[in-house]
Structure 1
């Protein structure tokens, strides 16, 4: 079985047209009844409400984008494939798929990988029309207990609970995030700090590999 350690970084929808549509859809809270008070609330809070909705699309493959895929095959070096514009997202997926072993079963290892990373990659490939590798190389419809996956969050917390990767690192006395985390990726991308994002993604891959080794060492 080929172990592939994986982490992705995502960003919100970058289309000004999408943001405009969200802004136009903003409505005032239900307690505002009078037309003038509704209009005033929208004037005062509409932009912030729209920005909040757009920001959350980084968790939604329907509208968000993958900017970085970090991965390592077994004990090999970590690679980070990064897009500096949304036009490069398809190439990121194609490059990642091309690097996957096609002989034997691939097992993907990551933190919350079953609920986020693998599904996001699959959905974005469908949206962008990027051809998927054979299912032995990139499985479909994964569950946390599938043999083609090892989700460090589920392995630690079970199917009904959660633990952040940072908290798990602290529990295992492993190096934690150092002043930069996933919540900062969107702004870093907007600021053109692409090398910082790629390095951060690579560190997360190294981290999840270290976590997995701790499970492996005790015969999990």
Structure 2
């Protein structure tokens, strides 16, 4: 397997909000509140438009050769452009299958805008066959190709009315689901300076996504029963030797739920 499951966590791009809405002179908290209110007035909901999010964490599960790792890119001091460069560097080096939950609807469009904002070049990601003929038939950008597998999109049959949240699907499968916080609490945690908890939360999300992906690979016959069990065992071994408390808690919750 050559797979990279990814997830991002974001906060309001308050610098962008100041530029777009002319909110100079306000604190970050007040700018964010104004952005939410303006969005509510426009759409009836306060979820910000994709181009007004700023990425504060990108977490991945990486399965390559005999490796299986889960981590958050960069460190607590890494800025957004470094996170993006590290993300695209992994694609340039390994050309993995990208796996996400709603990555096509949220994570990747945000990544596109933020890469544009910071001038982060990513030719391998944007390849569609002009330089590499193989990418004509399978690339990261085509919704119906497999090089990026958006599990929410695929499992819903590309029907918006059939989509489901990761937390509920993971819970149905006996997986831990959301742990520690939710996306709605990320801005509060960020304002409190608790980026570490945001990164931990993001890592548990990609673990849930990876385990759903393994079930999907079994569902479509890419993994037999023994191989599926072996891949789950790799995850258990990884978590069982982890020192990080959130990874230990994930394994405990998984065991307690009695997932198949």
TM-score tier, shorter chain, comes to 0.7 to 0.9
Tell me how far 1:84 sits from its aligned partner: 5.6
Distance 1:209 1:140, change over 3 A: closer
Give the unaligned 5+ runs of structure 2: 25-31, 129-138, 222-260
| Residue 126 (structure 1) aligned to one of 86, 108, 116 | 116
Tell me how far 1:22 sits from its aligned partner: 6.0
Matched, 1:100 2:91: yes
Tell me how far 1:197 sits from its aligned partner: 0.4
| TM-score of the two chains, using structure 2 as the length reference | 0.64
Q: Return the alpha-carbon distance in structure 2 between the equivalents of residues 83 and 18 of structure 1.
A: 28
Partner of 2:12: 12
Partner of 2:37: 52
- Secondary structure (helix, strand or coil) at the match of 1:134 reads helix
Asked if 1 retains the 8 angstrom alpha-carbon contact of 2:9 and 2:55, the reply is yes
Tell me how far 1:122 sits from its aligned partner: 1.9
Matched, 1:201 2:191: no
Q: Return the alpha-carbon distance in structure 2 between the equivalents of residues 203 and 78 of structure 1.
A: 9
- Secondary structure (helix, strand or coil) at the match of 2:175 reads coil
Partner of 1:190: 191
Q: Return the alpha-carbon distance in structure 2 between the equivalents of residues 111 and 100 of structure 1.
A: 18
Q: Kindly report the root-mean-square deviation, in angstroms, between the aligned alpha carbons of the 2 structures.
A: 3.1
Partner of 1:80: 72
Q: Return the alpha-carbon distance in structure 1 between the equivalents of residues 48 and 114 of structure 2.
A: 12
Asked if 2 retains the 8 angstrom alpha-carbon contact of 1:83 and 1:89, the reply is no
Partner of 1:38: none
- Secondary structure (helix, strand or coil) at the match of 2:152 reads helix
Tell me how far 1:60 sits from its aligned partner: 3.0
Deviation per residue, 1:112-164 (Å, 9 max, x gap): 11111122212211121111142388955331x21212111123222112100
Tell me how far 1:196 sits from its aligned partner: 0.1
| TM-score of the two chains, using structure 1 as the length reference | 0.75
Q: Return the alpha-carbon distance in structure 1 between the equivalents of residues 200 and 101 of structure 2.
A: 17
Of 93-102 and 179-188, the range deviating more from structure 2? 93-102
Q: Return the alpha-carbon distance in structure 2 between the equivalents of residues 171 and 65 of structure 1.
A: 31
Partner of 1:39: none
Q: Return the alpha-carbon distance in structure 1 between the equivalents of residues 36 and 178 of structure 2.
A: 26
Asked if 2 retains the 8 angstrom alpha-carbon contact of 1:13 and 1:58, the reply is no
Higher relative contact order (CA 8 A, sep 6+): 1
